[in-house]
Structure formats: structure tokens, C-alpha cells
Chain A
Amino acid sequence: MSGADAAAEALDALPEIPRDDDGPVFREPWEAQAFAMTLRLYQQDLFTWPEWAATLTAEIKRAQAAGDPDRGDTYYHHWLNALERLVAEKGVADATTLDRYQSAWRHAADRTPHGEPIELEKRDFSD
């Protein structure tokens, strides 16, 4: 299945994806990156769209219960939460692993002069 087909299926399955007449729109680059990762995982049968929709809906409900005022501009924050959760539930990477990588990336950014590509190295994992 092509990426475009997968994206079309995602739009059908997820009516609330921010979009215009031509397809999805993203407020920031990371939103598109999160969307792209989700498409790839779907293409590899890690989950179905109904399964994804259920996880995302649960994350949105949880955020609303916690007082999230506006679903529109926080949609991809919920999306990212859902992605982390589903990746953990499927046994791909648990929260501890993701935390460890986040610390490492922060370390990598902190030692990388501005204007140079930020690259993760082994030493970023040792604290």
C-alpha cells in the first residue's frame, strides 16, 4: 500500500484529523512527523485504524477530563500520547525506554553547537 493510500484510509477512519479540502494540515513540523510514524506503523500492521481511533479517543477523553479546553489545536498532542501508549501496549517500547531516549536526545542537543545537525551518539546515554 502506498503512503497516499494509507493516508486516505487514515482520513476516512479519523474524521477529526485537522484538514482542508486537499487533505491533512499540520500546525508544526513535529505533527507531520508523528502522523508519518503512525502511517508507517499502520502499514506494517502494528494496529488497525479502528484500534488507533479507540486509543486516540481514549487519550482525548482523558485530556478533556483533565481540563483540556480546545481539542482543535491540541489534537496532535493527543495523537502523540496515543502513539506512545500504543507503542508500549504492543510491546515495541515501554515508557522507561522512551524516557531514556528523551534524556539522551536532550543531552545530544545540549552538546551540539547551534547550526550543526543534532545526532544521537552512544555517549548521550551515559549520565
Chain B
Amino acid sequence: MSIDEDRGQDHSHGHSHEHGEMSELSDTQLRVRSLETVLAEKGYVDSAALDAIVEAYETRIGPQNGARVVARAWADPEFRRALLEDASTAVNTMGNVSPVGSHLIAVENTVERHNMVVCTLCSCYPWEVLGLPPTWYKSAPYRSRAVLEPRAVLSEFGVTLPDETEVRVWDSTAETRYIVIPERPEGTDGWSEEQLAELVTRNSMIGTGLAQRPDGKTEDS
């Protein structure tokens, strides 16, 4: 049997992106998706019920590095500079976090600019730092609307930005994954990195939320 060139790509580990701009699923992901499809077609599971179970554990999946990366960036200007320059290298020098791949880019929110990320769930999603993407994040409407009307999408998440703040939407590609560094909340002077990390929500690192405030209020949904 000959192998079609296009489909003969490396499906084993390593995840090179030599196949260009197409999506990629690992063998394990293929098995899980196949089971889910078959079980759904036979009426044993439905994806809404599965999503609900998975979402209940969403803070317990993967190393959840992102909050600590952001907290370090808030606390340590030197690290922040290094992170903005080369996020992968900066994260990998932290020592106490799991290594990340070489395509990570950090973008910082400021008064002048708010950053937001769109991508979908293939194996290039940086769940090592961001945790699991929420269900809405995987949906086609989010992706297209985030690009066309980011302010409307943000307001649905309870985030209203001043008119003068530019909203920049970053579309992940095979070569790039983004993490948003949200603005550090006021009233956190002198906080330790551990305390600061508690304020960094998943949505704030995607840009569909802001970091929690020290009084516990959040504009995350």
C-alpha cells in the first residue's frame, strides 16, 4: 500500500509543523475523538454532557503555568521584558514550571491596548500555559465574531473597555501561540507572586476577561 504524500505526515510524537497550515491531531487525540463520535452516534454520550464534565475539571487539567508566568511578569520587570521578547525562552528559564514549546508569544495589555486571542482546539493550543480552552472558545462563531466585532464579544464577557483603548485580536497560527499578560490590578502592591497568581484567571490570559481584583470581584464570566 502506498502512502499518499499529503497524508504521510508524522503522526507520532514530535509534532513538527512541517505540514504547513493544516490541523494536526495526535494518535491519542484521534482515538479519543473517534470514541466520542461513535458513542455519540449510538446515543451513549452527547458532547454537551461531556463538555460539562470536562469543564468541571478545567482548572485541574495540565500544569496551569500561565498564572504563575503572569504573576512573575507583574512582580519582576526584568522577567516581563524577557517574556515580551521571547516568551518560550523566558518561561523555560523559570525552572519551576513545565517547559513550553517554542512558539509562545506574550502580548501585554495596557491602557492603550487590549489584546485578545483566537484559535481553535487542535494540538497547537497552548493548554500548558492557558489551561483548557472554554467550550465557547472552540466555536466557529467566537472565532469569526472575535475578529469582526471584538468589543461586542468582550461585552458579553462583562468586559467594557474605554473607547480610546485599542482592541487587538491575535489569530494563532501553526507557528504562534499567544498568552495575554493582563494588567496588574490596583491595590496589589507588595503582593507575593503566589498571591498575585491567584488573581490571574484563564479568561484574562485569553483576553476575554480581566484579572481579578484584590477585593475578589471579577469581570470574568
Contacts and interface: CB of A to CB of B under 8 A. Distances in A.
B22 A113 contact: yes
5 contacts: A29-B127, A37-B45, A40-B39, A41-B44, A84-B31
A110 B6 contact: yes
Contacts of B50: 33, 36-37, 40
Interface string A10-40: 0000000000001111111111111111011
B7 A29 contact: no
A95 to B, nearest CB: 11
Contact of A40 (B7, B53, B57, B119): B53
Contacts of A116: 23, 120, 140, 143
A26 B56 CA distance: 12
Contacts of A28: 61-62, 127
B152 interface: no
Contacts of A101: 33-34, 37-38
Interface of A: 3-4, 7, 22-37, 39-41, 44, 46, 77, 80, 83-84, 87, 92-93, 97-98, 101-102, 104-107, 109-118, 120
Interface of B: 6-7, 9, 11, 19, 21-25, 28-39, 42, 44-45, 49-50, 52-54, 56-57, 60-62, 118-122, 124, 127, 132, 138-140, 143, 171-174
A40 B32 contact: no
A41 B38 contact: no
Given A39-B53, A93-B35, A117-B120, 12 more contacts: A26-B62, A30-B32, A46-B44, A87-B38, A93-B42, A98-B38, A105-B30, A106-B7, A109-B25, A114-B24, A116-B23, A117-B143
Top 4 nearest A-B pairs by Cβ distance?
A101-B34, A36-B53, A26-B61, A93-B38
